[in-house]
Amino acid sequence: MKVYGMDFTSAPRRKKPITYTECTLENGILQVNNLGYIINFNQFEDFLDNEGDWILGIDFPFSLPRKLITNLELPLSWEGYVEIIAKMDKRAFENMLTQYCHSRPKGDKHHFRVTDKIAKSCSPMTLYGTPVGKMFYQGAPRLLKSRVSILPSRPTNGSRIVVEAYPKLVAMKWIDKRGYKNDTKKKQSDEHKIARSEIVRGLCSGELRDYYGFDIELSEKLRAALIEDPTGDNLDALLCAVQSGWAYEHRDKGYGIPANCDPLEGWILDPYLLD
């Protein structure tokens, strides 16, 4: 099975592209074949149109919290509310979230999905710092427009499957809460590089099978590309592939998505969320 992992950005360009890794999962081995880079959203949409059988894990929130959707009186279906947001321009969407937050009492401004609370990930409403709200705005409408099967929010019988990933959960298996990347050059450090080395060492050890059910094989060239990239984008793309590979291996068990999952909110695919 062809398995992809993708590190997403809300503003792809040559200096900060969307990064993906292409792998093959067979007989309990995730073979890492190459890294690729997408510099604009047209290329991202073309990627989603790639024919064949594949599964792709992307690290942005595909959905919004039910509480926000309800309070804004948006349609109570994933397709319904994403379609409305797709018709907004970027500024209108950001203003909607900003004004909503300003209207809320302290401590109840940014809502979280159930999956965010378990994964300890950012609220999909976040527009600054790690701007996952902007990623949602750019990514979810393009997923909606594509013909891919989006689990669990828009499942189809198609052979191209997209799932939500969160690479930090994989990295934490080996470095806990230590940092391993930074986009700002002045904040990149030797400690980050050491942490990336420890993550890669863990991925290539038998411990990966204990956590995710398969082993990884990758060349020395790719190993170096994962460790030497101070932004962590190359490594995050592979960590997303690990999560999408795990989801595929659990396809007979709902791809690792709990039976009581709310399709309106979606789910991050990782065994950690099932503990």
- 31 phi and psi, to 5 degrees? -85, 115
pLDDT band at 275 (very low <50, low <70, confident <90, very high): confident
pLDDT in tens, 92-101: 999 999 999 9
C-beta of residue 191 within 8 angstroms of C-beta of residue 179: yes
Q: Using alpha carbons, select from 274, 248, 43 the residue that is nearest to residue 151.
A: 248
Per-residue confidence (pLDDT) for residue 63, from 0 to 100: 98
pLDDT band at 266 (very low <50, low <70, confident <90, very high): very high
Inter-axis angle of helices 90-103 and 132-145, to 10 degrees? 130
pLDDT in tens, 179-214: 999 999 999 999 999 999 999 999 999 999 999 999
pLDDT in tens, 31-78: 999 999 999 999 999 999 999 999 999 999 999 999 999 999 999 999
Cα separation, 233 vs 12, whole angstroms:
12
Residue 169 has pLDDT above 80, yes or no: yes
The CATH number for 2-61+159-251, chosen from 1.10.357, 3.40.50, 1.10.3120, 3.30.420, is 3.30.420
Domain ranges of the chain: 2-61+159-251
Provide the β-strand partners of residue 161: 55, 149
